[in-house]
Every structure is written in structure tokens, then in C-alpha cells.
Structure 1
């Protein structure tokens, strides 16, 4: 067994300086992209909403493009001796590119896709502030924890943000019009796909539908 070489699974393997509480907090923030992906997959399974499905698909394409950029540029990380278990190159930062895509897409979705009646102005500002804060913290963590240089993080943020804008515009103005046809197709009916495009407030719609169903079930003929 002494001759066997072991490799760390880098998905959750985040290192920070021992005793550095701020570094530990930033290390936890590196989990944000993973939590976002898990949340999106959960929404896809539970709601089967086409826009959420294409949102997740865009995230996956963004990840694939990051792998292509990294293998093509092949720029080393700033301090490979600090994180010897990380074998991938550093340009562009994967975390920064993911958060750039997430932030750009979410902001456009919030202000263009959703009807103004869906969320109040204060809630929109809160979600916008949360997206920017999470993106900033994750990007700063990659530099502070010596995983990337500032230029690698900025490159990832720019690529991800640009792709997020382009992907949203493609979905909004080219693909959304085909959602009803997709839902009515055999595959759409088999997978029970849904299109919430014309519903102003999904939470209120679902709540009202459930309450009406319960009232109908509770009314029994004499």
C-alpha cells in the first residue's frame, strides 16, 4: 500500500490557514457555488419548470467552457506549493466564473423576466444586494486563500458574467416562445414539464390552487 498514490477529491477540499477565523469563513463561502447547483437541481426535480431547467443547463455549459479555457490557457495557480493537491490550472477561476454567471443571470431574471407584481421593490433590492455580496465574497476568498491571482478571478468573473447575459437573452427572446410547444410534446407530457412564464406570482398561484383544491375536497354532498 505504500506505493499507492492518493488523490484528494477537490469538490469539497478547501484549505485555509490554521487559526485564521476569517480564512475559515471564506473557505465556507467557497461552498456557495455547490449549494446553488444543488438548489437548482432540487427545483428542477420538484417543479419541472422549463426556465429553471434552462438556467441549470446554462450553468453546466458555463462549467464546460471553464474547463475548455483552463486546458487551453494552462496558466498555473499562484502558489502551487500551498495547495499541492489541486492539479487544475488557474486561468480563469472556476468559482469566479460560476458566480459571475449566477449574478448576471439572476439580476436580469429579476428585473426583466419577473413581473413587477411578483416582488416588491425592497425585495428586489435585497436579492440584488445578496447576489452581489455572495459573488464578491466568493471571488475574494479565491485570492485570499491563495487559489488564484486577481487577474484569474477577474477573468473568470468577466467570462461568467458575459455568458450569463448572453444566455439569459437567448432564453428570454429566442427560446421562451417555444415553451408551450415543449410542454405539449410527448416528452414534455411524460416528464410533466411546466411553463410559469405568464404567471405573475408563482407562490401565490400555487397557494391559491392548493387552498381551492382543499376547499373542494372538504365540501361533501349531503
Structure 2
């Protein structure tokens, strides 16, 4: 269930925040999922014998494990590379990191425990997810982030109201201060 909650959370962030980094991470998750589908059809590795009679889908690599590996790798990189050092204390970052790793490991274990996948299928899925997640984070951080200002200022970027929070040290404080300073006496968003 964790991948479903993460996908819903990310899609909600994309719809309401329109932050390019979040959009890129969501696109990365979709590419990761498509890669998993292609690999399963190419490898045609059966699921464990307890489940193979009940389902026609293939088991290698584990989709849940690959998803969580990708998300965990990107999330940890975000916490320690992209997020401004003043936003959260190191202790809080480590707590978030530990929670993400624990959630990933529990998801992987559940796939084996429930006989949806073999240990090998889960391990391969997790390893692929981590590798894809690290590679995708690097692509976004090094190659795409420098183009975020142009994307936001493009015709399509303005129509979609895309945003780039890269240079804002703490988005929570920024949004809080802006909403508190917004004039409250009859000014509406559409009046500009």
C-alpha cells in the first residue's frame, strides 16, 4: 500500500504546487514503473509457486520493491543534497531518512512474506530502483534544474503556472510568510 500512498501524495503535490522538481520526480517514478513493466515482460520470470496459479503476471523484478527503492534513493538525496541545510536539523533529516528506509524494507519484506515475490525478485527490484533513483536524481539535479527558470518563464510554463523553488531556502517559511502578508481587505487573486 505504501507505493500507492506515495503516488497519490506526489500527484497531489504536482497538481497543487506545480513545482518542477516534484514534477520531475513524479515523471521519474513513471519512467521507473514503465521500466519495470518492460523488464517483467522481457524476463518472464514466474512468481512463487504459491501464487503463480492465481495470477498471470510475472514476478521479476518486484514492482513494489523497485518503486520503493527509487523513491527512497531520491528522497534521501533530496534530504541531504537538495534541501537547504537550514531547513531541518541533521537529527530530523536522519529521522526522516530512517523512516523512509524502514518503510522501504517493510514493503520489500511484505512482498516475500505474502508470497508475491521470491527473495531474488525483491532484491533485484530494490537494487534496480535504487540505481534508477540515484541516476534520475543526478539527471534532475545536474541537467534539468539549471533549465527550471526557462521552463517556468516559457509560454507553457506560464499557462501551467509552473514554479521553481530551487533558490528558496525553506519553502514552508516562504509560503507561510507570503500568505500572512497577503492583503486581506477585499483583494482577490483574479484582480491582478
Shorter-normalised TM range: over 0.9
Aligned match for 1:128, one of 86, 94, 97:
97
CA deviation after TM superposition for structure 1 residue 47, in Å: 0.3
Deviations 1:184-211 (A, max 9, x none): 0010000000000000100000000011
1:217 aligns to what?
184
Following the alignment from structure 1 to structure 2, what is the Cα–Cα distance between the partners of residues 198 and 140?
38
In structure 2, distance between residues paired with 1:161 and 1:87: 27
Give unmatched runs, 5+ long, in structure 1.
1-30
Which of 78, 81, 84 matches 1:109? 78
Q: Which runs of 4+ in 1 moved over 6 A?
A: none
Residue number in structure 2 paired with 1:168: 137
Hey, what does 2:25 align to over in structure 1? 55
State the match for 2:64 in structure 1: 95
Instruction: Say whether 1:35 aligns with 2:19.
Output: no
Which position in structure 2 is the counterpart of 1:207?
A: 176
Task: Give 1:66's aligned residue.
Answer: 36
User: Quick one: distance in 2 between partners of 1:84 and 1:177?
Assistant: 50
Q: Distance in 1 between matches of 2:162 and 2:8?
A: 19
Deviations 1:81-130 (A, max 9, x none): 44644221111000000000000010001100011011111210111011
Does the 8 Å CA contact 2:46/2:52 hold for their aligned counterparts? no
- 2-structure distance, mates of 1:107, 1:101: 10
Backbone CA RMSD of aligned residues: 1.3
Tell me, in whole angstroms, the C-alpha distance in 2 between the residues paired with 1:187 and 1:210: 26
Give the number of equivalent residue pairs: 186
In structure 2, distance between residues paired with 1:217 and 1:77: 59
Residue 182 of structure 1 is matched in structure 2 by 151
User: Aligned partners of 2:139 and 2:51: how far apart in 1?
Assistant: 41
What is the TM-score when the length of structure 2 is the normalising length?
0.94
Aligned residue for 2:165, secondary structure, equals coil
CA distance in 2, matches of 1:68, 1:49: 29
Distance 1:92 1:161 in 2: 13
Distance 1:84 1:194 in 2: 48
Larger radius of gyration: 1
Query: So what's the TM-score if we normalise by structure 1?
Result: 0.81
Counterpart secondary structure, 1:195: coil
Gapped regions of structure 2 (runs ≥ 5): 187-192
